[in-house]
Structures are given as C-alpha cells and as structure tokens.
Structure 1
Amino acid sequence: MTTQPDHGHELIPRPERTPAAVRIALARIAPHRLGEMEQHKEQALGAALQDGKIGHLQYWLTYWQAQVEIERRPDLRSRYQAALVSVHNTESKDDPAFHAAMAELRAVETEARQAVSP
C-alpha cells in the first residue's frame, strides 16, 4: 500500500492496483460494499469470457479502486454523500438541484479515478 499525503487525512493508505489489495482495502473501510463488489466482478468476468476481452476486468478494477479512493478519503466521501442526499431530495430529473448534484457525483468520481490511474 502507498500513501498520498497531498489531499489531507486518509482513513487507510491507498492500496496497490491488484484485485486482492483493493478488496482488502474495501473490507477495512466499507465492508457493507463487498457483496456489491463481488457481484460486479462476476458480471465483468462473465462479459470478459463471453467476448474474450480483458477490458471488462480492467474497468472493474479501476471502478473499485476509485470507490475505495472515495471511501478512504473523508474529503471525497463527504462530497459524494452530500451529492447523493441532494439527488435523493429532488423531486424530478428536471430539477436544477438534481443536475447540480449529478455533476458533483461525476466530479468526485472523476477525481477519484484520476487519483488512482496508473
């Protein structure tokens, strides 16, 4: 595991880019999401076997690395949770608050992906 001290307090060090390391990290900071991770892995594996492309597994690993990044960094996690609350408190997808919250969710996910990209 490595650390990146440039963005403040982290709950755990950033895991290495391996399925096992990402799973261990998720188990430490968000164990309630392990079932979701496993289901997503099975879908990615099935798609990879069906069309013979490893890209499905690479996407899966990148997605879960980013999810761990969000969970391990309180700054990202609080922004993500606040945006989710905003999304759920809007009455329709036409609500400007819905669009703003969705934009914030995408921004957090993009920042997390960029932080873990090789």
Structure 2
Amino acid sequence: MSAQPIHGPELIPRPAQTPTALYEAVAALIPHRLTEMTAEQARAMTEAVEHNSLKPLLRFTMKWAVDIEIARHPETLAELHRAEYLANHAETPEERRQQAALAGAIVNAAVEAVRG
C-alpha cells in the first residue's frame, strides 16, 4: 500500500468540471471510454429531464471528474487497477479486504481532490 493514494506526475492539468472539458480529458487520457461516457451523459440528461432535477447531471460530472483525476496520474491508475484485480482474485478474505480498502482509498482521494 502506498502512503499517498494519488501520486506521480500528472499527464494533463485537472480539467474544469464541465461536460466539454471532461470529454476532452477523457479523449486525451482514456479514449477507449468515450463511448461509455457519451452513453452515461445521455442517460443523465434523460433522467434530469424526467425528474426535473440537476442531480443526475451533477452525479455524471462528479463520476467522470473522479475517473479523470485518477487517470491523470498513470502510477495511481495502475495501482487502482492492480488493487481491483487483486481484490477480485484474492485467496483470502483479508487480502480481499486490504486490496478493496486500497482501491477505495484511491477513489476517495480523487473525490477529495476534485471537490477541492
């Protein structure tokens, strides 16, 4: 486990939390996820209209801002993928808990970073 969940050099500056800026960041960092992002944005927009609420759009924005925050740091992204893999393939419940806790700490640190 690392002492600092988000670490290593940044590939790009943290983008603004707008759909356009987030889309551009996804295109630059994790282009294989553009289709997923576009589909989630469409669902969020539909839900926002149906419920007359901005909450689905805010959830969409936060989710992608967090994913981008992690992807901006290749070492952290690799560490998250490793922890998720090891949690899913752990031989003991304790190992599963440790790796899941590490993955959770990385995501939580990214949430805190994007919230400022």
Q: 2:97 aligns with which of 96, 99, 104?
A: 99
Aligned to 1:112: 110
Which ranges in structure 1 are unaligned for 5 or more consecutive residues?
1-6
Matches of 1:39 and 1:98 in 2, distance apart? 31
Could you report, residue by residue, the CA deviation over 1:66-116 in whole angstroms, capped at 9, with x for unpaired residues? 10011111232122111112123136xx72222222222211111111111
TM-score (norm 2): 0.84
Matches of 2:95 and 2:38 in 1, distance apart? 33
Matches of 1:104 and 1:8 in 2, distance apart? 16
What secondary structure does 2:16 align onto? Answer: coil
> Which fold has the larger relative contact order, with Cα–Cα distance below 8 Å and residues 6 or more apart in sequence?
2
Matches of 2:54 and 2:76 in 1, distance apart? 29
Aligned to 1:3: none
Matches of 2:57 and 2:76 in 1, distance apart? 25
Which ranges in structure 2 are unaligned for 5 or more consecutive residues?
1-6
Alignment of structure 1 residues 5-84 onto 2, 5 Å: 7-84=7-84
- How far is 1:8 from its partner? 4.2
Could you report, residue by residue, the CA deviation over 1:33-57 in whole angstroms, capped at 9, with x for unpaired residues? 1111112112211221121110110
Runs of 4+ off more than 6 Å: none
| Deviates further, 19-28 or 79-88 | 79-88
Matches of 1:79 and 1:54 in 2, distance apart? 33
Query: What is the aligned-residue RMSD (CA, Å)?
Result: 1.7
What is the number of residues matched between the two proteins?
110
TM-score (norm 1): 0.83
